[in-house]
Chain A
Amino acid sequence: MTTVLETFGLKRRFGAFMATNDVSLKIEQGARHALIGPNGAGKTTLINLLTGVLVPTAGTIILRGDDITRLPSHLRVKRGLTRTFQINQLFSEYSPLESVTLAILEREGFGGNLWSPVAGYGQLIDEAAALLARFRLASVMEERTSRLPYGKQRLLEIALAFASRPRILLLDEPAAGVPEEERYEVLSIVSDLPADVTVVLIEHDMDLVFSFATRISVLVAGALFAEGSVEEIASHPGVKAVYLGEAA
């Protein structure tokens, strides 16, 4: 198994607060790697560090052999690493079609073109429409994103990340805030992601974690508390304690 993403002693400090404390993580190619831990454990901070939203105080991040620790976000996307946000980060003024087309244009390297109209990129628009159809967004693809119901916006959040054809996709609580009836759609998409895409998933829903994940890392107070296969973690006494609040 090849390692696609690895961190060495990753640290992030905010003043006196150590949000990420010496995290050394290994993500394997094609894994379904879940990141769990109590609230405030620093899971989102870790994702922010991995995607370049935050710069680490110390440590390194290696993506398929390259050091990306200080690489800006948009260049990490070009290397196949992207994410979804826990709270939707969408282009509220754009329609899903415009948003996804933008992502595809950037992926294909046409993003810097100042002259040709977007409407001329027929094939890429086709791809965008097809992708939106797969995410059950075809009927609303021309609507302004801010007018879409939350569940659809959540699907768009994932579709947008997907449009960049990532090789590693970091999902930050994909079903967060989604009403009960619509959770199924989102969770189905997550479990149906292609096998060659490596997925790192932050999630609180333990059923989803145990049914989806191949490997689990437990983060507590910014540090790696435990790591292992699903069976190992499920039977780990410390993990239960951490979640149920007993002395660790």
Chain B
Amino acid sequence: MSVLAKEGLQPVEERHAQQARARRWMRKRSAMRIFELVVWTAAVAVVFLLPSKMLILTEIAILALFAVSLDLVLGFAGIVSLGHAAFFGLGAYAAGLFARHVMAEPVIGLLIAGAASGVLGYATSFLVLRGSDLTRLMTTLGIALMLAEVANQMAWLTGGADGLSGFSLDPILGLFPFDLWGRNGYIYCLAALFISTMVARRLAFSPFGLSLKAIKNNPARAALVGVPARRRLIITYAIAAVIAGCAGALLTQTTSFVSPDVLAFHRSADVLLVLVIGGTGYLYGGILGAIGFTLLKDWLSVVTPQYWMFWIGLLLVILVVVGRERLAGWIEHVRGRLASGGGHSP
């Protein structure tokens, strides 16, 4: 008796039931979880509940956007990057230069900055994808350092070590001016974060996104089910670069200033830590991690203003040695409690 039950030998009802079950499971896999609604509701609520904290909340939103973009690179594409700040920084400078020399409209500036970073991301993806993990570290770090050097050298354009200033931004869409309390700035950044996360979410649950984690998990197998890995990774890297560039642009636009610090190594390292705190591979790790990191850094810089870097480093060491898996497992547990019906998360 053959085990490979031929089609037609299986009772139709049973097969239909299985297929319905499969479809349901797939739908549930990509369904909006309760904790997601909680996050966005809270993000909007703080506009009314914490009106005096708009500046730090804007900082969180920008960092969250930056971290979501790195999650695409790290958590989905599996590329360990030490230089993601390159895209953040390019976006920041692009937005600043655009506002200063071309047009002070923020939304257009945001899109231009994103596009510029996307181009850089696409161009460098070919280099980044060559070689091993180690070479990738060198490449990503090198590109960020190179850009920082460019910013430093081309002082006539970028303001050098003093940074770029002397521009201000027009009201968003002509209607919402950047006010001193930062409320409109925050809403602007939140909107950008929301749209980007939703776009990233669609990507994550699309066939493209399905193939990404497969490539990360088992590249040999992925190739043998027909996945063109290189092409997918290049596109992902470029998209992540666009989002990171937007984050940088938002920083410029909300502060009317660009400092060379946007390309500093610690930016790349900080955003890695954000993802370590929040978890990778489910997009919200960037948001949750950004909240945690910013609050922590804020508290630390009050307690030990000069040497907070030490405590951040210590946190990294502890987190890794204790085990990210344990932390991730704890997060899964909490997520499972918050999610509807305890569905299996990818």
Contact = CB atoms under 8 A, between A and B. Distances in A.
| A–B contact, 8 Å CB criterion (strictly below) | yes
Nearest to A116: B206
Interface in A123-146: 125-126, 128-130, 133-136, 138, 141-142, 144
B134 interface: no
Most chain B CB within 10 A, of A113, A128, A161, is at A113
User: Interface extent on A, as a size class?
Assistant: 35 or more
Contacts of B326: none
A185 B218 contact: no
Interface in A168-191: 184-185, 188-189
User: Interface extent on B, as a size class?
Assistant: 35 or more
B26 A119 contact: yes
B201 to A, nearest CB: 10
Contacts of B217: 91-94
B225 interface: yes
B7 interface: yes
Nearest to B26: A119
Most chain B CB within 10 A, of A51, A73, A105, A130, is at A73
A74 B202 contact: no
Interface stretch (A11-19, A77-85, A205-213, A223-231): A77-85
Given A74-B224, A77-B225, A133-B18, A125 B23 contact: yes
A94 B217 CA distance: 9
Interface in A92-108: 92-95, 97-99, 101-103, 105-107
Contacts of B334: none
B7 A130 contact: yes
B131 interface: no
A118 B213 CA distance: 14
Interface in A187-229: 188-189, 192
A89 B22 contact: no
Contacts of B232: 112
Nearest to A126: B19
Interface in A56-99: 72-75, 77-78, 82-83, 85, 89-95, 97-99
20 contacts: A53-B220, A72-B223, A73-B223, A73-B224, A85-B221, A89-B221, A90-B221, A91-B217, A92-B218, A98-B346, A102-B225, A114-B206, A114-B208, A115-B206, A118-B26, A129-B15, A129-B19, A129-B22, A130-B15, A192-B4
Closest 5 CB pairs of A and B: A129-B22, A106-B226, A73-B223, A103-B225, A77-B226
Interface of B: 2-7, 10, 14-15, 18-19, 21-23, 25-27, 29-30, 202-203, 205-211, 213-214, 217-218, 220-229, 231-232, 235, 344, 346
Interface of A: 51-53, 72-75, 77-78, 82-83, 85, 89-95, 97-99, 101-103, 105-107, 110-119, 121-122, 125-126, 128-130, 133-136, 138, 141-142, 144, 160-161, 163-164, 184-185, 188-189, 192
